[in-house]
Structure 1
């Protein structure tokens, strides 16, 4: 029987460091955050300016095409709460735009189905 040894993934200490996350958010008092959900779509309105944080510049580049907050969080390998804080700052400076996702009806309207059925029967 051969023994296959799996290597453990090591977590980069710089990414899991709570102090680093605190510095990124710069939010000591827990001020108002935008009402963002995991599925909220975000799109950038302009290119990164020299005054934005590096993480915010990455968000602006990523969001040339609409992305959900969950996707942004995954790409940056940052917790949702940190990404929400970064996005709130970008929304306040009007560098991004956010929209709730479009929810389509699961079932078509019954009257539409009946009209299609009657139209097909007349053929």
Structure 2
């Protein structure tokens, strides 16, 4: 049985982020695509290493949060660390109707909830 994000130990989340509650990186919204630029290295935080493995192909932030079973806010902090270290790149997906139109964030949140309920 998998643990719910709501049941996550706050101390663990605090430890994962080094006590930070917000990311300095503004680049990450739910649909930002993340791609790893290197392989994990020995001694790296396990969540960072997992992100690098998952992101060998472009992966959306919302997908990472689901795969890691972590809140998006925590994943954004971890991604900010990796971006600052040059270990990932981040970009917004191109849409057929133009770069300025993205899916409604509320719909994406509903999709994420639906995926988690599967």
Instruction: Give the TM-score of the pair, scaled to structure 1.
Output: 0.70
2:57 aligned with 1:59, yes or no? Answer: no
* Runs (4+) off by over 4 Å: none
Instruction: Give the TM-score of the pair, scaled to structure 2.
Output: 0.73
Could you tell me which residue of structure 2 aligns to residue 83 of structure 1?
Answer: 75
Structure 1: gaps (5+ residues): 1-8, 107-123
Please list the CA deviations of residues 8-57 of structure 1 after superposition, one character each: whole Å capped at 9, or x if unmatched.
Answer: x67379x6100100100114474623331000000001101224210000
Could you tell me which residue of structure 1 aligns to residue 66 of structure 2?
Answer: 74
SS at match of 1:104: coil
Structure 2: gaps (5+ residues): 99-118
The two structures, once aligned, show a CA RMSD in angstroms of: 2.3
CA separation of 1:50/1:69 partners in 2, compared to 1, >3 Å: closer, same or farther? same
Question: Over alpha carbons, which structure has the higher Rg?
Answer: 1
Q: Tell me the CA shift for residue 60 of structure 1.
A: 0.2
SS at match of 1:43: strand
* 1:29-68 correspondence runs (5 A): 30=22, 32-68=24-60
